[in-house]
Amino acid sequence: MSTTNSITNESFTTVQGLLLAVGATVLGVFSVTRPLLGSGIYAVSALGVLVIQYRNTGQFFQLSGIGEAPPGEITLVAVGLTSAVVFPALVAAAGLGYFTWTPLAAGVGFAVAGLFVLYGTFGFRASRKQ
């Protein structure tokens, strides 16, 4: 007798939300005190989200219809995707000694770290509602 577990798209979305919530929160919290730990955990969680997305849909990103979206939504997608790559890379580079946070970069960095903590909090809250 064989049984199959049916995994729905909601389950995938919940797992992806939890992974991003944990990764973003850890990156934001540890970006100053333990930058390599924060960047590493964020990288693993982001990779997990991409693997789940690819296994579920056969593609890494679902940007279809973004051209018809309002300008504010397109801007948020662009800033979000850029921050998701650039900020963790700078945190890791600083942890390895290849980048120094100038006062201006530190101000921007703290703002982005706060944004990541906020995103992680709302991501966790949204995944708990599902």
DSSP for 87-104, written as a single string: HHHHHHHHHHTS----HH
Distance (Å) of CA 62 to CA 14, 123, 126: 17, 18, 19
- Residue 37 has a pLDDT of 92
- Residue 93 has a pLDDT of 92
In a domain, 32, yes or no: yes
- Residue 98 has a pLDDT of 93
In a domain, 93, yes or no: yes
In a domain, 4, yes or no: no
- Residue 1 has a pLDDT of 43
* DSSP, res 68: G
Rg (CA), the chain: 17
Handedness of CA 104, 107, 110, 115 (dihedral sign): negative
**51: how many CB neighbours lie within 10 A of its CB?**
13
- Residue 100 belongs to what domain range? 9-129
Domain count across the chain: 1
- Residue 114 has a pLDDT of 81
In a domain, 1, yes or no: no
In a domain, 84, yes or no: yes
pLDDT tens per residue across all 130 residues of the chain: 444 444 566 676 777 778 887 888 888 888 888 999 999 999 999 898 888 878 877 766 666 666 777 777 777 778 878 888 888 998 899 899 999 889 998 888 888 778 777 877 777 777 666 6
Q: In whole angstroms, give the CA distance from residue 19 to residue 23.
A: 6
- Residue 87 has a pLDDT of 85
- Residue 43 has a pLDDT of 92
- Residue 81 has a pLDDT of 80
- Residue 9 has a pLDDT of 62
In a domain, 3, yes or no: no
Q: pTM of the full predicted structure?
A: 0.71
In a domain, 114, yes or no: yes
**Cα 102 → chain centroid:** 24
In a domain, 2, yes or no: no
Whose structure tokens read 């279809």?
64
